[in-house]
Amino acid sequence: MTLDNRQFMSIGQVQDQYLNPNTPKVGKDNNSLPTGENSFASVLNKVKESADITNSEGPVKFSKHAMNRLSLRNIELTSEQMDRLNQGKIEASEKGIKDSLILVDQLAFIVNVPNNTVVTAMDQTENKSNVFTNIDGAVIA
């Protein structure tokens, strides 16, 4: 099987031809590729930038369940402990961890790193078995 000299259009070019009648036609006679804000590179960069800005930055949030656990267990975090928890989340993110156990002093937090959310919290002294499941990494902060 051999390929002849046909020019193939990108999906975006075909889509533009059908959805936007003012878009110049691209084919055998016109080899131009889309440029500007609709080019593949531009769209890819926008998606990448938005992924970098989303949930993974800023201080961690606490889920309703985690807030209930903190309240029921009378756990109060100092600002220094919050800073260490946030730093632990950053380190977990840099290592590609999705669900991390983060230990801060005698406190244990399960953090969903991509969503930047603490899903549960406990004092290590109350967990008799010291077994944590559904995590793919741990950080001692």
Q: How confident is the model at residue 24 (pLDDT cuts 50, 70, 90)?
A: low
User: Who contacts 94 (Cβ-Cβ below 8 Å, separation ≥6)?
Assistant: none
Asked if pLDDT for residue 64 goes beyond 50, the answer is yes
> Could you state, in order of their start, the residue ranges of all structural domains in the chain?
11-53, 61-140
Whether the Cβ atoms of residue 121 and residue 67 lie closer than 8 Å to each other: no
Average pLDDT of span 21-47: 59
The residue count for the chain: 141
Structure pTM?
0.60
